Homo-oligomer: A and B are copies of this chain.
């Protein structure tokens, strides 16, 4: 492996001169710099990250933690983050799982963005207390070195319930997400509260935010001999897709007998037939914002609290009257 030492030897200068030249210091003549740069290029020199990190005590890498890589949800969000980080000269790596959580105390990354309910809150707080910078997108955590950027689940849920009310639904089935999940909890709580307010009956079916659980939920509902039209609020789109799946070969028609609203506005929702009505928000902006905030934290700049707002997207799965 070629290091600055080798370059120094070839160029006939000392290693410190090489270092200065490569790092654009004004302490070397333009001529020596040129010479050294040329040699470095010819020798395919690339600085050793470990050595540089050890000395600098920073990596310029931000770690993003996800529960898993599945689901069609993450794409836009990650693209947004990446763009935001690139703008500031930071790299992004995407991780998942317990082991890679160690990157934080190991100082492999300068900061972490977390959207991973399997990442325990006390661990996050623990790391933050040790001085690591963390942005959480999926829980409320008040602590030094932690900032949160949350989705306005309450607003989104209210929008959805409002539509059920306008449609004069007498009962709504709520397909819930994972019990530990923040977004999931928030959506469920708000749904219950709002439905009570409108005096609408409801029933909760436990799901876990993946398609299969939506299908299972639909099956469960059907076993209860429900009355039609059936009103379903799937607390995320993936489960709504699972519901479509269940009724695919049934004589019951989505948009007529079965009326569904989802949440998240994932890409494929718009390709469903009929289109899935859902709650939307800008995942791209969410990602950009998260990137911005983690950098501001690292640079010790002041940060203003932000939230991601939602809108209602109409679709044939929930016809307007």
Contact = CB atoms under 8 A, between A and B. Distances in A.
Interface of A: 1, 44, 46-51, 53-54, 59, 68-72, 74-76, 78-79, 82, 86, 91-97, 99-100, 102-103, 105-108, 126, 130, 211, 241-242, 244-245, 248, 267-268, 270-273
B102 A46 contact: yes
A97 B79 CA distance: 11
Given A1-B107, A242-B271, A272-B272, 10 more contacts: A47-B106, A49-B106, A50-B50, A68-B79, A69-B78, A70-B75, A71-B75, A91-B99, A92-B100, A248-B273
Contact of A74 (B69, B126, B244, B267): B69
Contact of A86 (B48, B75, B99, B105): B99
Contacts of A79: 68-70
A94 B92 CA distance: 9
Contacts of A47: 106
Contact of A54 (B51, B72, B267, B273): B51
A158 to B, nearest CB: 28
A48 B107 contact: yes
Given A75-B69, A93-B93, A244-B271, A54 B46 contact: no
Contacts of A271: 211, 241-242, 244-245, 248, 268, 272
A94 B61 CA distance: 12
Contacts of A86: 97, 99
Given A49-B108, A70-B76, A44 B130 contact: yes
A196 to B, nearest CB: 33
A269 to B, nearest CB: 10
Contacts of A72: 71-72, 267-268
A97 B270 CA distance: 28
Contacts of A44: 105, 126, 130
A270 B76 CA distance: 23
Nearest to A131: B1
Contacts of A102: 46
The winner among A49, A76, A96, A241 for most chain B CB atoms within 10 A is A49
A272 to B, nearest CB: 7
A13 to B, nearest CB: 23
Contact of A106 (B46, B96, B241, B244): B46
A100 B107 contact: no
Contacts of A51: 50, 54
Nearest to A104: B46
Contact of A69 (B94, B126, B211, B267): B94
Contacts of A273: 244, 248, 272-273
Contact of A68 (B75, B92, B106): B75
17 contacts: A48-B106, A49-B53, A49-B106, A49-B107, A50-B50, A50-B59, A68-B79, A69-B75, A69-B78, A69-B94, A70-B75, A82-B96, A91-B103, A211-B271, A245-B271, A248-B273, A273-B273
